[in-house]
Amino acid sequence: MTAAAPRELDWEVNGLRLAGLAWGEPGAPGLLAIHGWLDNAASFSILAPLLTQYHVVAVDLTGHGRSSHRSRDASYQIWDDLPELLGVLDALGWERFSLMGHSRGAIISSLLASVVPERVEHLVLLDGVAPPPVGEEQFPRQLRKFLDEKRHWQQRRNRVYTSAEAAVESRTGTSPPAALARLLVERNLRPCEGGYTWTTDLRLRGASAVKMSEGHIRAVLGALTMPTLLLLARQGFGARPEVAARALQFISRLEVEEVTGGHHFHMEPAAAIVAQRISAFLQE
């Protein structure tokens, strides 16, 4: 499957450089796309060109792709990206927009939509909706894990590969398949002494200081008042009965469907079918 060439974008928000990719006409309805953990904006390189009626803008979240790393004292909790995403939306001039997220990006999309529901026309969630709840009694243990892992990952350095091909091969057996993983890998690489290394901030692998409780998750999902479409991959990470059940219980205007494929089904052969379903939903 050949991906249409996107346009490179970048913004300066809160002292951080954010990079992104765009498809479609700038005057078309806006659709902000948020990628998953350790991916980047190229995650939407297959799906976005198929959404021909929309101006799709995908952002490299901080610490990913070609965007800035956060400062040494900062963290990468799921709500930390919200101020920068709002800055990007303001720079685009999008007072009203639709929102689409994959995996961790779907969770971030749920958070963003819950706090500015008046700005979100439609919400599309790809193989994710909310994190698993963690009991409040686990807070001291979680905070200790965060402190230990932050120290650990600050002392580590990204692996160096002799070639870009070697970096692609390192993802063999993961989702998406190697041929499509190249789109993600190439945007997450930079030249260095000895070959190539990841641009990804290793601190993204560390534990969060705070995890959302059941009450937090219910409040977020209950605030999603816009039409919402949740697509779950049959062979993905989100296809657990409790994921759909919790979403159906608390999101008032929700449609849930299963899609053939793995966790990155939006990059796999089913992408054309997924695009048709999303396009129909966005026009409802």
Q: Would you state the torsion angle of the CA atoms of residues 115, 117, 121, 125, taken in this order, to the nearest 10 degrees?
A: 50
| CB contact set of 194 (below 8 Å; sequence gap of 6+) | 160, 162
DSSP state for residue 196 in the 8-state scheme: E
Dihedral sign for Cα atoms in the order 59, 102, 270, 182: positive
| Burial category of 105 from C-beta neighbours within 10 Å (exposed 0-12, middle 13-18, buried 19 and up) | buried
Cα–Cα distance for residue pair 7/130, rounded to 1 Å:
30
Tell which residue, 150, 167, 11, has the closest CA to residue 84: 11
Helix extents (H) in 19-120: 82-92, 104-115
Clarify whether 67 is annotated catalytic: no
Tokens of 184: 């993600």
Q: Looking at 67, 103, 109, 175, which residue is catalytic?
A: 103
Decide: 168 and 178 in contact? Cβ < 8 Å.
yes
Decide: 182 and 188 in contact? Cβ < 8 Å.
no
Cα–Cα distance for residue pair 52/20, rounded to 1 Å:
18
Cα dist from 135 to 172, 210, 212, 241, whole Å: 36, 11, 8, 20
Q: Would you state the torsion angle of the CA atoms of residues 93, 23, 167, 171, taken in this order, to the nearest 10 degrees?
A: 100
Place of tokens 């990468």: 76
Active-site residue list = 103
